[in-house]
Amino acid sequence: MKARLSIHSKYQVGKIDNRLYGSFIEHMGRAVYGGIYEPHHSTADEQGFRQDVLELVKELKVPLVRYPGGNFLSGYNWEDGIGPKEKRPHRLDLAWRTIETNQIGIHEFYEWSMKADTEINMAVNLGTKGIDSARNLVEYCNSPIGTYWSDKRADNGHKKPFGIKTWCLGNEMDGPWQIGHKTADEYGRLAAETAKAMRWVDDSIELVLCGSSSSSMPTFGSWELTVLEHAYEEVDYLSLHQYYGNQENDLAHYLARSLDMDQFISGVVAMCDAIKAKKKSKKQINLSFDEWNIWYHSNESDKAIAPWEVAPPILEDHYNFEDALLLGCLLITLLKHSDRVKIACLAQLVNVIAPIMTTQDGPAYRQTIFYPFMQVATYGKGTALTPVVTSESYATCDFEAVPYLESIAVLNQEELVIFAVNRSQEVMDFEVMLEDLSITKVVEFSQMSGFDIKQVNSEANHKVKPEGSNDFEVAGDSKKLSASLAPLSWNMIRCAVNKK
C-alpha cells in the first residue's frame, strides 16, 4: 500500500502551545497516594515523593499538570490541604467514595511540580463552593504578601507567590454525577462571576470554562452555546473531555476513534466562533482539551472495589499495543487543531488511566501509551504544518473514509519531525514530499510495531516500545523521503532540513 504526506513550510496549521502536552493528577485512586507520593518507598525523597516516578514524569516532558480534579474537585475544600499535616482533616470524597487524608495539598503539590519541571493548571471547586473560595485561592497562590490569604501562605512556609497562570472554572458541571451539578444557565452565570472576581485578584491569569463532559452528553451543543453566552468575555478557553475504548474489540473501528475527536474539536470551534460573531466580539476563545485518553479496561474490575478506602487501585487501565496506536492518532489529531487547541491534558499521569504505573514498594514502569506521548511532547515543538495526505481509506459504522495513514509534520528551528500511524495490516510505502524544504539528514526513524495488539507492558515485561529503523531513503534532490511503515505501526521521523 502506498501513502503520501505533502508539506510546505508556509502552509501551517499554527504554532504549537507547549501546554498541548499537559497531563492531569487528581486526588483519586493511587494517583497521589501510592503514585507520586509514597513516603516509605525506597526512592522517596525527604518530602515523600517517589523519585523514580519524578524521573519518568520528566522523561515524558509534561509542561503542565491539571490539579486537583476531576470529579474530586467538586467537593474539595482547598483549605483542608494547608497548614501542619497532622492537623489536616480526613474527609469523605463523595465523587469516588474514598477517604481523602489531605497529606498532599497545594504547597506539597507545588513542590512536586517544581521537581517535575512542570506548571500547575489549578482548578477551583464550583460544585459545593463558589466565588469566595475561588478568589481566596487565587489570593493564596498568587498575591504578594500583605493580605490575609497571602500571609497565610507565607506562614505555611512559602513567602513567594506560586504564580499559577492557568485556572479551570470547575469540572464537568454538566454531568449529573458531579457534586453540585448545574444547568448551563446556573453554571454559566456562576462561572462568569467567579472569573471576574478571580481576575480582579490577579489579572494575569488565564481561565478555562467547562464545556460538555463529552460529545455524547444529551446537552452537548446547547451547553456550550449557553455557557459561552454568559461567560464569553470573562474567559480564555472552553474545555473538552473525551475518553475512548475498544469495548467492541473491533480494531479498525477503534483506530478510527480519532476521527471522532477531530469532529468534536471542529464542532466546538464552530460554537465558540458562532458566539463570537453573535456578540460581535473581537476576542477569540481557544480550546482546552483538558481530559483525553483511553479508558475502559478497568471498568469491570472497579465494580469490585470496596468504598471508603484510602487510595484504592481504581481506574488502573493496563494499556496494550493497540491503545498506543490510537493514542498516536489522537496526538496527531490534537496537532492538526493546534491553531485552536492550546491546552490539552492526557488524563491522567500516574496509576489512574495513566502512562506511568507504580507498584507499591516496587518499581515504576512505562505503559505502552507512554511512548507516543513522550515522543510527541519531546519533539512536536514549533509549528504544525498543514498535512496534505493521500491514502487509501476504509469505512466504519461511523465514518465513510478513514485514511490508513494518519500523519502530520512539525517544523522548528532544528528539525522537521514527522509523526505517522499506519492503520493498515499491510506494509505502507510512505512518501513525504517537501515542497520548499530539503532534507540534509535523517536524524532518527523510530517505529513501534510488530507486537501482538493486545500486548501490555508490566513491571516484569517491558516489551512494547519503539525501536530504531533504517528502512528509509532520501531522493537525490532531497525533496522526497521514502520510508517503509510496518503494518499497524506508530512512527516518528526526525530530519535536519534546509529551507530552499
Q: Which residues are catalytic?
A: 172, 291
Looking at residues 80 to 109 of the shown chain, list those that interact with ligand AHR (rule: CB under 6 A). Answer: none
Choose the binding region for ligand AHR from 69-77, 155-163, 433-441, 483-491 (rule: CB under 6 A).
69-77
User: Is 180 in contact with 74 (CB distance < 8 Å)?
Assistant: yes
Site string for ligand AHR, 286-325 (x = CB under 6 A): -----x----------------------------------
Q: Bin 163: left if φ > 0, else alpha if -120 < ψ < 50, else beta.
A: left
DSSP 298: T
> Smallest Cα–Cα separation from 458: which of 316, 294, 299, 264?
316
> Smallest Cα–Cα separation from 424: which of 456, 448, 402?
402
Tell the burial category of 59 from Cβ atoms under 10 Å away from its Cβ (0-12, 13-18, 19+). Answer: middle
Site string for ligand AHR, 193-232 (x = CB under 6 A): --------------------x-------------------
- State which residue, 75 or 387, has the beta carbon closest to ligand AHR: 75
The CA-atom distances, in angstroms, between 186 and each of 174, 180, 220, 227 are: 10, 11, 16, 9
Choose the binding region for ligand AHR from 68-76, 150-158, 355-363, 413-421 (rule: CB under 6 A).
68-76
In the list 5, 209, 347, 474, the residue contacting ligand AHR (rule: CB under 6 A) is 347
Cβ at position 176, least distance to ligand AHR in Å: 12
* Residue 327 grid cell: 493514542
Show Cβ contacts of residue 146 under 8 Å, excluding neighbours closer than 6 positions: none
- State which residue, 352 or 421, has the beta carbon closest to ligand AHR: 352
Cβ at position 261, least distance to ligand AHR in Å: 16
Helix (H) or strand (E) holding 111, with range, is helix 106-115
In the list 71, 215, 288, 422, the residue contacting ligand AHR (rule: CB under 6 A) is 71
User: Is 394 in contact with 404 (CB distance < 8 Å)?
Assistant: yes
In the list 3, 5, 21, 26, the residue contacting ligand AHR (rule: CB under 6 A) is 26
Cβ at position 24, least distance to ligand AHR in Å: 7
Q: Bin 36: left if φ > 0, else alpha if -120 < ψ < 50, else beta.
A: alpha
Residue bearing cell 478510527: 256
Site string for ligand AHR, 151-190 (x = CB under 6 A): --------------------xx------------------
- State which residue, 95 or 428, has the beta carbon closest to ligand AHR: 95
Residue nearest to ligand AHR (CB): 70
Asked if residue 69 binds ligand AHR (CB under 6 A), the reply is: yes
* Residue 271 grid cell: 460554537
- State which residue, 23 or 333, has the beta carbon closest to ligand AHR: 23
Which three-class secondary structure state does DSSP give residue 318? coil
DSSP 372: H
Residues that bind ligand AHR (CB under 6 A): 26, 69-71, 171-172, 213, 291, 347-348
